Chain A
Amino acid sequence: MNSTDRIMATLTGKPLDRRAVAPVLSLYGARLTGCPLDQYYTDPAAYARGQSAVRETFRPDVLCAPLAFASIGAAFGSELVFIDTDVPNIRRPAVQTVEDWNLLVPPDPDTDPRLLYFRESIRLMAAEHRDQVPISMVIPIPADIPGLVMGLEAWLETVLFDPAGAQLVMEKVIPFYVQLVNGFFAAGAKFVAMPCGFASPTIVTRDIVSTFTRPILDRVLSQLHGPVILHNVGAPLLAHLDLLTGLPSVVGVIMDQRDDLARARLVVGPDIVLFGGLDCSTISQMTVSDVENRCRAILEERRQDPRFVLGTSGPDVVWNTPPENIHAMLKTAESIGSVGV
Chain B
Amino acid sequence: MTIQQSLIEKIRLADRQGANALLDAWATEHGYERLISDVLDPTLLLIGEKWCASGAMTLAQVYIAAKVTEDVLNKIISMRINPSESHPPKGPVVIGNIEEDFHALGRRMVGTFLRAEGWIVHDLGNDVPATVFVDKALEVGARVIGVSAMIMTTALNIKMVRQEIDSRGLTGRIQLAVGGAVFCVSPGLVGEVGGDGTAANALAVPDLFNRLWRQSVEKEAGA
A contact set with B: CB distance below 8 Å? 81, 83-86, 89-92, 151-153, 156-157, 159-161, 201-205, 207-208, 234, 239, 279, 281-282, 285, 314, 318-319
- The answer to whether A285 and B186 touch across the interface, beta carbons within 8 angstroms, is yes
Kindly list chain B residues whose C-beta atoms are within 8 Å of the C-beta of A151.
104-105
B contact set with A: CB distance below 8 Å? 13-14, 16, 56, 58-61, 63-64, 100-105, 108, 127, 151-154, 181-182, 185-186, 188
- The answer to whether A205 and B153 touch across the interface, beta carbons within 8 angstroms, is no
> Which of A205, A279, A314 has the largest number of chain B CB atoms within 10 A?
A205
A159 to B127 Cα, complex, angstroms: 27
A83 to B153 Cα, complex, angstroms: 8
Kindly list chain B residues whose C-beta atoms are within 8 Å of the C-beta of A281.
152, 182, 185-186
- The answer to whether B63 and A89 touch across the interface, beta carbons within 8 angstroms, is no
Kindly list chain B residues whose C-beta atoms are within 8 Å of the C-beta of A314.
185
- The answer to whether A153 and B108 touch across the interface, beta carbons within 8 angstroms, is yes
A239 to B108 Cα, complex, angstroms: 27
A135 to B63 Cα, complex, angstroms: 37
- The answer to whether B108 and A203 touch across the interface, beta carbons within 8 angstroms, is no
- The answer to whether B182 and A201 touch across the interface, beta carbons within 8 angstroms, is no
Between A and B, 20 residue pairs with Cβ closer than 8 Å are A83-B100, A89-B101, A89-B102, A92-B102, A151-B105, A152-B105, A153-B105, A153-B108, A156-B59, A156-B105, A160-B14, A160-B64, A204-B58, A205-B13, A207-B13, A207-B14, A234-B185, A239-B56, A281-B185, A282-B186
Which single residue of chain B is at the shortest CB-CB distance from A154?
B105
A91 to B58 Cα, complex, angstroms: 25
Partner pick for A285 among B56, B127, B154, B188, CB 8 A cutoff: B188
- The answer to whether A203 and B185 touch across the interface, beta carbons within 8 angstroms, is no
Partner pick for A85 among B58, B60, B61, B153, CB 8 A cutoff: B153
Partner pick for A203 among B58, B127, B182, CB 8 A cutoff: B58
Kindly list chain A residues whose C-beta atoms are within 8 Å of the C-beta of B108.
153
Kindly list chain B residues whose C-beta atoms are within 8 Å of the C-beta of A202.
58-59
- The answer to whether A282 and B58 touch across the interface, beta carbons within 8 angstroms, is no
Which single residue of chain B is at the shortest CB-CB distance from A282?
B186
Which single residue of chain B is at the shortest CB-CB distance from A159?
B60
- The answer to whether A204 and B60 touch across the interface, beta carbons within 8 angstroms, is yes
Which single residue of chain B is at the shortest CB-CB distance from A156?
B63
Apart from A204-B60, A282-B186, 11 more pairs, CB < 8 Å? A81-B102, A86-B152, A89-B100, A89-B102, A90-B102, A153-B104, A156-B60, A157-B63, A203-B58, A204-B58, A205-B61
Instruction: For residue B172, give the distance in angstroms from its CB to the closest CB of chain A.
Output: 27
A83 to B64 Cα, complex, angstroms: 33
